[in-house]
Structure 1
């Protein structure tokens, strides 16, 4: 059974960060440039506040099993195999850590999440787009 993808509010940032390999925003961007799938699990409100990440696939954190089901026509993430590199970003590691850990439990072998989340991505000067209407479009 896959673990919960709910935010780990009861964990410290260090504990949430340790749920799966953690990388800096710069390393995450390098992984994406090399072909990793960038997955944004923030809420619509989170993306409206911080901005959307160009090229990211937006996934509802509670629909990760369906979104990453390689055998399902309902799959929305462009992962071709369990070896597809995946970078998960949220507003913080408390959101991305449980999702990255659940994907690793599901059998994905190259999953990391971003230290500091989307705010750190933005602060590192990496691309961020503001939605025209104040909310990003989600793939669900």
Structure 2
């Protein structure tokens, strides 16, 4: 059997990666935004704010008014504009989407995954819901 002749992608490590390395790679393709910019994007530019936190976290801490609540395991299925299980707000690949989790870690991975679907304006909220709340922005209980 002969050795493969193609070259490996230098952006992908040859061996196993730690979650920190995976997170760093995911974030290289994102222009992460803070709470004030996320609020402005939703209010002025029609960006979708998407809450991927667990229901228990939303019940405990509250929610961001107007944010869509989509469980992480359904995210790509619901936001793929060509998908059979898309939500009505998943209108096209140019829609700006700001994903947030509790503290801004899982949301980075989720936003990178959305970019792989061609949702090139997907990003995440730096610091997550906790940063939004600490900034004194509106929260519903």
Question: What TM bracket, shorter-length normalisation?
Answer: 0.7 to 0.9
Q: Would you tell me which structure has more helix in proportion to its own residues?
A: 2
Instruction: Give the alignment's TM-score, normalised by structure 2.
Output: 0.77
Residue correspondence of structure 1 range 92-103 to structure 2 within 5 A: 92-103=103-114
Q: Deviations over 1:20-46 (max 9, x none)?
A: 221111111111112101110000011
Q: Greater CA radius of gyration, 1 or 2?
A: 2
Structure 2 matches for 1:1-140, cutoff 5 A?
10-11=19-20, 15=24, 18=27, 20-34=30-44, 35-76=46-87, 78-130=89-141
CA contact (8 A) 1:17 1:94 kept: no
Corresponding pairs, count? 121
Unaligned segments of structure 2, at least 5 residues? 1-17
CA RMSD of aligned residues (A): 2.1
Structure 2 CA distance for aligned equivalents of residues 16 and 118 of structure 1 = 22
Unaligned runs of 5+ in 1: 1-8, 131-140
**Which aligned runs of 4 or more in structure 1 are off by greater than 3 angstroms?**
none
Larger RCO: 1 or 2 (CA < 8 Å, sep 6+)? 1
> Following the alignment from structure 2 to structure 1, what is the Cα–Cα distance between the partners of residues 93 and 125?
20
